[in-house]
Structure 1
Amino acid sequence: MSRSAGLLLGFAADRLLGDPHRLHPVAGFGQLAARAEKSLYADSRAAGSAYAGLLVGSVAAAGVVADRLTRDRPIAKTLLTAAATWAVLGGRSLEREAEVMAGYLEEKDIVAARGRLGHLCSRDATDLEADELARATVESVAENTSDACVAPLLWGGVFGIPGLIGYRAVNTLDAMVGYKSARYLNFGWFAARLDDVLNLVPARACAVLTGYAAGRAGGDVADLAAGCAEAPESERGTGRGRVRGGARPAAGWDEHVRRRGRGPRLTRRRIAADGAGHPAYGVVGAASRVRRGAHRRDPGATPATYEGADMHLSQRPLRIALVRHGESEANLDKSIFERVPDHAIALTAHGVQQSAETGRRLREVFENEPVRVYVSPYLRALQTLGALGIDDLIGSTREEPRLREQDWANYQDTEDIEQQKKLRDSYGHFFYRFTHGESGSDVYDRVSSFLETMHRDFEAPDSPRNVLLISHGLTMRLFCMRWFHWSVRFFETLRNPDNAETRVLLRQPDFRYKLDRPFEQWTEYEPTERERSAWL
C-alpha cells in the first residue's frame, strides 16, 4: 500500500512541479558518472561492465537499504517512494518542449522549429521541413514515454525504491555512454545492453497504453492494435542496443503505434505550396495530447537516447568557453578608428595582463584537457589568444571571420558614429544597421552559420572536450541568443561583457548546455522561464 501511494504521490509531484531547476538527483548522478568515467575508462567491455556495475549496483544497494529501513514505517516509506518517483520522472519539461514545437509548426515558423529541435534530440535540423520536424518530435516523445515514464513506474511497482532508482541509473548511463562511437563502442556495450533488456517489457506495455489512449482521443483502437502486431522488426526493436547499430526496444513499438494513430507515415507527407491545413502542423500537438490522454509523464532529465541522430550527444564538448578580447587601444581612444582599421587595433598592456589572468582561470575550467580554438581574425582577438598562456592545451586553432566584430564602417568618422549610436539606442541594437556597416541581425545570421560549422566539427571522433571562442562583446551576446533562442527583447537588455570576461556553456547530464552565469542587464526586463533556464 505504501509503495502504491508513494508512486501516485511522486507522479502527482511531477505533474504539478515538474523538474527542479537546481540540484536534480539525476543530474547529480550524471556528474558522478562523468567523474567515474575519467578514472575507470578503458577501451574494453570489461572496463565498461565494471563501470556500469559499480554505479548501478551502488544506486540499487542504496535503494535496498532505504526500502528496508522504512519497512515498518509506512508513512516514511510512502514519502521516500514519492520522492524517488518524482526524481526519476520528468514529463512536464518534455511535454512543454513538445507543445512549443507544436506551436512553431502550427504557426509555420520552420526556422524557429529547427532551432528548437535541439532541445529534444541531437538531429541536425538544418534542412528539415515541417513533416520531418514533426516526425523527429513524435519519435522523441514516443521513445521517452517508454524510457522515462512507463519503465520506471513499472520497475518501481515491482521492486519499489530500488527498481525506481536502479532503472533510472541504467537509463542515464545508456544515455551517456551507450553509443556506437569510437570511444564508447566497447566501453558502453554493457550499459546499452542492460538498458535494452530492462526496456523489453516496458516498451511493449507502452505501445498498448498508447494505443488505448489514442483510441480514447479518437483513433482506431483495432487499427492501432493491429499496427502493434504488424510493426516491422526494424520498428519493433530487436533487443540490440545502439552500440550494435540495431533498433532499441523502447523506440520502435510506441513510435509505430503513434504513427498508426495518425495515418500515413510522416516521412511520406509533403507540404502543400501554401502549407495551409497540412497534417504535419497538427501532429506534434496531437502526440502531446495522446500523452496527456494516457496520463503518462515523459522525461526532461535525460532525453539523450535518440535514434537516427547524425551526431552522438556524447561527442559534444563538456565546455564551450566564450572570451571577449582584452582591453584594446580603441577602448581608451575612440578616435583611433579614424586612422587605424578596426581589424588592426591592438591590445593595451593592461589588455595583455587581463588576458593572462583569464588564461589562468580557463586552465582550471578546462581541467588541463585539450582545447579546440575558434578565434576572430581581428588583431586584438589574436593577441588575446596569445596572451592566455594555454598553448600547451590547444590542439587546433581556426581563424573564423564569422566571429569578427560588428562592421561599423571602414575608417570611421567619430562624430558620425556617435550620432548613429544614439539613433541605434532609440531604434534598437538588434535591427539598427550602421550606414556603412552591419546590423546586429546581420551578425546574428553569420553566427548562426558558424554554429552549423561548429556542430559538424563536433562529429569528429577526436573532437576535444573543450571548445574556446575568442571574439567580441556583441558577438558573444548574439552567439548565446542564437544558441539558447532568446527573444530580441531580452537581447536588447543585455550588457556587453567586460574586456577578457568569459561565459562558459557547461554540458549538463541531459546533454543540454547552461551558462555558468547570466549576462548583466542594463534595462528592466523580466526574462521568461525559458530564457532563465539558460543559466545555472
Structure 2
Amino acid sequence: MVTVEPLTLWGLWLLLGAIVVDLLVGDPPAVPHPVVAIGKLISQGERLWNRGPGSIRRRNGLMLTVGVVIGVYLVTWAGLLMLSRLHAGLALVAELWLLSTTLSIKGLGKAARAVTEPLRHGQLPAARRALGMIVGRDTADLQEREIARATVETVAENTVDGITAPLFWALIGGAPLALAYKAVNTLDSMIGYRNKRYTDFGFAAARLDDLVNWLPARLTALCLWLAALVMPGMHRRAALAGTWRDAPGHPSPNAGWPEAMVAWLLGVQLGGTSTYAGVASHRPTLGVVREPLGVAHIPRAVLMMHGGWVVFTLLMILAVLTRQAWL
C-alpha cells in the first residue's frame, strides 16, 4: 500500500508534495472536499442524536465522535488500499490529494487578504462580510481595530488547526490519520460549543480536539518564535516568557499558545470582549500594547503564519533524518 509510514523519508516527500499542491491549487470549489462530506455526516448525526436529557446527549455525542473519527480513518485507509491494489500510482495521487485537502495554507492567506483589502480602503461593510466568512463572532458592528483583532486571532489559531497539526498527524499516520484529525477538528467546530444545545452533546468532541491539538499548538508557538528570529520588526525579547504567562489564561487550552505568541511578537494586544449571537464573551488579554492594532498587522500575521509552518516543516525534516540516522 502506498501511504505515509511514520517518520520515513518516503512519507516526508509525500507530505512536502502535499504542501506544494496546497500552495499551488488550494481548495478549488469545483473539486469535492472530504471535510464537506465529514461535515454533512456530523450534521445528520447531530439532528438524529442531539436530544433527551444531558446524560443521554453526552453519551450520544461520544458515540457520534468516536464513530465519525474511526469511520473516517477506516474509509480513507480502505480506499487507499483498494487503489494501491489497482495501481500504485492511483494510490499515490489519491493520498497526495487527500493530504493536501487537510492543509489550508493558501486558503488561510486568501481569507486574510479578503479582509485586508477592503479594510485598507476604509470599506468596513465589505471587510465585515469577509470576516464573517472565517469567524463565529458577530461582525456587523465591528470597527477597524476589532476587525483586525479578529483576523489576526483567526490566522494565529488556524496556523495550528489548518496547517501544523494536520502535518504532525500526517507524518505519524499518513492521510488516514490526517483526515481523522480533520474529523476531530470539524466535530469541534460544529458541536464543541459551551451553550445549551451543545454543552453535553459536544463534550467528547471538544475534549478530543483539546487532546489532539495539545502538542502541535505548543510546537507551533515555538516555531513562530523561531521564525521571528529572521523577521524584522518583531518584538522577540519578551515573547517566550509572555506567551508562557498569558497562554494558560485563554479559555482554550491550545488556541492561547499561537495567539499569545503572535500578540507578543507583533507588539499588540489580542483577546478581550467578543460577541457571539448577541452574547458577550470576555477573554483575558494576550500580549502588551507596543503599537496600536490595525489593518497593517494582518499581513504581518500572515507572514508569521508562513514562517511558522516553514520552521515546523524543517523540524519535521530534522526529526525524520535523525530517526533515519539511528536506524
- Bin of the TM-score, shorter chain as denominator length: 0.7 to 0.9
Of 222, 246, 255, which aligns to 2:259? 255
Partner of 1:240: none
The amino acid across from 1:41 in the alignment is N
The amino acid across from 1:52 in the alignment is T
**Structure 1 counterpart SS, 2:198:** coil
Higher RCO (Cα < 8 Å, 6 or more apart): 2
**Structure 2 counterpart SS, 1:261:** helix
Partner of 2:49: 40
The amino acid across from 1:53 in the alignment is V
- Aligned-pair CA distance for 1:158: 1.1
- Please say if residues 45 and 64 of structure 2, whose CA atoms lie closer than 8 Å, have aligned partners that are also in contact: yes
- Determine whether 1:50 maps to 2:50: no
- Whole-Å separation in 2 of the counterparts to 1:226 and 1:78: 43
Q: 1:4 to 1:132 in 2, by over 3 A?
A: same
* Structure with greater helix percent: 2
- Please say if residues 203 and 251 of structure 1, whose CA atoms lie closer than 8 Å, have aligned partners that are also in contact: yes
- Please say if residues 5 and 78 of structure 1, whose CA atoms lie closer than 8 Å, have aligned partners that are also in contact: no
Q: Residues 254-306 of structure 1: CA distance to partner in whole angstroms, max 9, x if unpaired?
A: 000000011131579xxxxxxxx96512111211122233346xxxxxxxxxx
TM-score between the two structures when normalised by the length of structure 1? 0.48
- Whole-Å separation in 2 of the counterparts to 1:172 and 1:264: 30
- Aligned-pair CA distance for 1:134: 0.8
- Whole-Å separation in 2 of the counterparts to 1:33 and 1:220: 42
- Whole-Å separation in 2 of the counterparts to 1:182 and 1:230: 31
Partner of 1:224: 239
**Structure 1 counterpart SS, 2:138:** coil
Worse overlay, 149-158 or 28-37: 28-37
- Please say if residues 164 and 309 of structure 2, whose CA atoms lie closer than 8 Å, have aligned partners that are also in contact: no
- Determine whether 1:3 maps to 2:3: no
Of 24, 30, 44, which aligns to 2:33? 24
Partner of 1:280: 294
- Determine whether 1:63 maps to 2:76: yes
Partner of 2:315: none
- Aligned-pair CA distance for 1:202: 0.8
- Whole-Å separation in 2 of the counterparts to 1:121 and 1:289: 20
Alpha carbon RMSD of aligned pairs, Å? Answer: 2.5
Partner of 1:80: 94
- Whole-Å separation in 2 of the counterparts to 1:279 and 1:187: 37
**Structure 2 counterpart SS, 1:249:** coil
- Aligned-pair CA distance for 1:68: 5.6
- Whole-Å separation in 2 of the counterparts to 1:106 and 1:225: 31
- Whole-Å separation in 2 of the counterparts to 1:294 and 1:104: 26
**Structure 1 counterpart SS, 2:140:** coil
- Aligned-pair CA distance for 1:200: 0.4
- Please say if residues 49 and 191 of structure 1, whose CA atoms lie closer than 8 Å, have aligned partners that are also in contact: yes
The amino acid across from 1:32 in the alignment is L
The amino acid across from 2:49 in the alignment is L
Q: 1:206 to 1:148 in 2, by over 3 A?
A: same
Gaps of 5+ in 1: 236-246, 269-276, 297-536
The amino acid across from 1:149 in the alignment is I
- Determine whether 1:205 maps to 2:209: no
Which is higher, the Rg of structure 1 or of structure 2? Answer: 1
**Structure 2 counterpart SS, 1:127:** coil
**Structure 1 counterpart SS, 2:193:** coil
- Whole-Å separation in 2 of the counterparts to 1:278 and 1:253: 21
* Equivalences, count: 277
- Whole-Å separation in 2 of the counterparts to 1:16 and 1:84: 15
- Please say if residues 228 and 257 of structure 1, whose CA atoms lie closer than 8 Å, have aligned partners that are also in contact: yes
**Percent sequence identity over matched residues?**
32
Task: Give runs of aligned pairs for residues 444-523 of structure 1, distance below 5 A.
Answer: none
